[in-house]
Structure 1
Amino acid sequence: MRHIYRCPLRWADMDAYGHINNVVFLRYLEEARIDFLFRPDKEFKQGSVVARHEIDYKRQLVHRHAPVDIELWITQIRAASFTITYEVKDPDQVYVRASTVIVPFDFETQRPRRITADEREFLQEYTDDPKEPLKAKGEEEAVAV
């Protein structure tokens, strides 16, 4: 399953050529990520921090009044991090493909923490193939003997 965020384009997001500035896409990804992670029904209550961003710009997005869709899904879940993958797109074209590595963080102790079972279950719903559970690196699959 994929999470879809309808991102409004703001006049101030434009560069001198009328295109959405490349740096603004980081904010768009942040808005989509917050919309995904901090919902009333499911939430990373202890917080999280960004460890890495990768962005591939595919084509320019011209400012307009209609929002752009940001689809996001989970491509990797490890013991203490997970990767969100995004596409910023319209139905007929992709403007940006990106990924972000997120580390769950305990702000009281100021330390990274492991993903909880509830968080893992929530993230699993948004993986490429939710029928195939993603294992943390080094986790062994139980084999019935």
Structure 2
Amino acid sequence: MRHIYRCPLRWADMDAYGHVNNVVFLRYLEEARIDFLFRPDKDFQQGSVVARHEIDYKRQLVHRHEPVDVELWVTEIKAASFTLGYEVKDGDHIYVRASTVIVPFDFEAQRPRRITEEERQFLREYMDEAEPETALKAEEEAVAA
């Protein structure tokens, strides 16, 4: 299952060419991540920190009034970290594919912590081990054949 966040575009998101600035996409991922992790019924109350981002820009997103979808899912769960996958898209147009490694963190003790069983169960609901890149490569190979 994937979590979908409808992300509004803002005038300040544009660069001099009228496109959404590449750096702004990291903020879109952050907004989707917060919407996913910090919900009243399921959240990481004890806190978490970002350990790593990877982002692949696929096409330019021109500013418009309609929001863009940020799809988010879990690709890996370890003892003390988990990885989220993302696609920023609308319809068939994918603007960004990205991943983020998140480390649960105990801010009081100032150190990383293990994922609780409750958190693990929540994350498993959104587990999707199939990477979009694999599907994309298979699709490109089929078109080329």
TM-score, structure 1 normalization: 0.88
Q: Percent identity?
A: 84
| Residue equivalent to 1:115 | 115
| Residue equivalent to 2:106 | 106
| Residue equivalent to 1:45 | 45
| Residue equivalent to 2:55 | 55
* In structure 1, C-alpha distance between the alignment counterparts of 2:102 and 2:13, rounded to whole Å: 25
Alpha-carbon distance, 1:36 to partner: 0.1
| Residue equivalent to 1:32 | 32
Structure 2: give runs of 5+ residues left out of the alignment.
130-145
Q: After the TM superposition, which segments of 4 or more aligned residues of structure 1 sit over 4 Å from their partners?
A: none
| Residue equivalent to 1:77 | 77
Deviations 1:27-55 (A, max 9, x none): 00000000000000001010000000000
Q: Which structure has the highest helix share of the two?
A: 2
What is the RMSD of the two structures over their aligned residues, measured on CA atoms?
Answer: 0.6
Instruction: Describe the SS at the equivalent of 1:122.
Output: helix
* In structure 2, C-alpha distance between the alignment counterparts of 1:55 and 1:128, rounded to whole Å: 18
Alpha-carbon distance, 1:128 to partner: 1.1
Deviations 1:59-106 (A, max 9, x none): 000000000000000000000000000000001210000000000000
TM-score, structure 2 normalization: 0.88
Query: What count of residue pairs does the alignment treat as equivalent?
Result: 129
